[in-house]
Amino acid sequence: MIGVSAEPTTREAVSLTGTDLHLSFGDHKVLRGVDIQVDAGTTTTVIGPSGSGKSTLLRVLNRLHEPDAGDILLDGRSVLKDNPDDLRRRIGMVFQQFNLFPHKTVAENVALGPRKLRGLDKERARALALQQLEIVGLTAKADARPSRLSGGQQQRVAIARALAMEPQVMFFDEATSALDPELVKGVLGLMADLAQQGMTMVVVTHEMSYARNVSDNVLFMDNGAVVETGEPDQLFTDAASERLRSFLSQVL
Ligand code: ADP
Ligand code: MG
């Protein structure tokens, strides 16, 4: 366990559902009727070859792209008629690139969202930032510039920044892919802690050990569609489709 000493979140976990999601870019069908059901407080890992639509699925689920068809439900209620900004505030997102502001301190980076988007004053935003930094084990770095931190520490700051918005769901899109191998474990450990605490999460990853050991469900995508979904033990030991067996034989 990594630095989880602050109060765990007391917020109620919510479910996330995508039904029959379609998206095309021009003639290119990138999502072809994707269904995803993430029960409250569970983690679904999305695996699949490059270009299969994993990142696009996350971007549709938080409406960075509007789906051509299908529905998105948070806590059992469709969000497609809401202001997309409301949805994005309820879903925290962590990418491969950390995108921290280099001229701001670590604490300022974490406090920025709460100040600008949630209207907290400077002191309250800093207090919240320090609380989130404690959760990711980086209190000591609060007043450092991001460039003084390792890649793994910077990614933990990016996670703290997302958590500071007090999201109901967290998305991770290949959050460890840009990290040096020795730094991957710390970030995966933090993600596992969040899952353990009951955060609803969707995790796109190439880390098959994480998919297998931490997630409640695995969704295997290929060519814009869900080829197979199920519990990790079943999927990893007894894949039904030739496509998943072949994918696993390449990545395991
Ligand atoms: P993955 O994350 O599984 O690697 P992506 O969701 O990034 O896959 O991409 C799926 C497909 O959609 C790819 O063929 C990609 O080229 C295409 N694509 C993704 N984003 C865009 C975009 N903004 N415009 C056009 N095509 C896109
Ligand atoms: Mg991707």
pLDDT 10s digit of each residue in the chain, 252 long? 444 444 444 578 999 999 999 999 999 999 999 999 999 999 999 999 999 999 999 999 999 999 999 999 999 999 999 999 989 899 999 999 999 999 999 999 999 999 999 899 999 999 999 999 999 999 999 999 999 999 999 999 999 999 999 999 999 999 999 999 999 999 999 999 999 999 999 999 999 999 999 999 999 999 999 999 999 999 999 999 999 999 999 998
Listed residues: CB within 5 A of ion ligand 2: 55
C-alpha–C-alpha distance, residues 201 and 149, integer Å: 26
Ligand 1 pocket test: pick from 21, 23, 25 the residue with the most ligand atoms within 8 Å of its Cβ. 25
Ligand 1 pocket test: pick from 29, 30, 54 the residue with the most ligand atoms within 8 Å of its Cβ. 30
Task: Please give the tally of structural domains in the chain.
Answer: 1
Q: Phi first, then psi: what are they for 83, rounded to 5°?
A: -65, 125
Domain contains 21: yes
Ligand at shortest distance from the CA of 59: 1
C-alpha–C-alpha distance, residues 40 and 29, integer Å: 30
Using the mean position of ligand 2's atoms as its centre, give its distance from the Cα of residue 47 in Å.
Answer: 10
Domain harbouring 78, CATH code: 3.40.50.300
Q: Phi first, then psi: what are they for 52, rounded to 5°?
A: -80, -10
The answer, yes or no, to whether any atom of ligand 1 lies below 6 A from the CB of 55, is: yes
Q: Whose CA is nearest to atom 1 of ligand 1?
A: 51
Using the mean position of ligand 1's atoms as its centre, give its distance from the Cα of residue 224 in Å.
Answer: 9
Domain contains 8: no
Q: Which domain holds residue 175?
A: 16-251
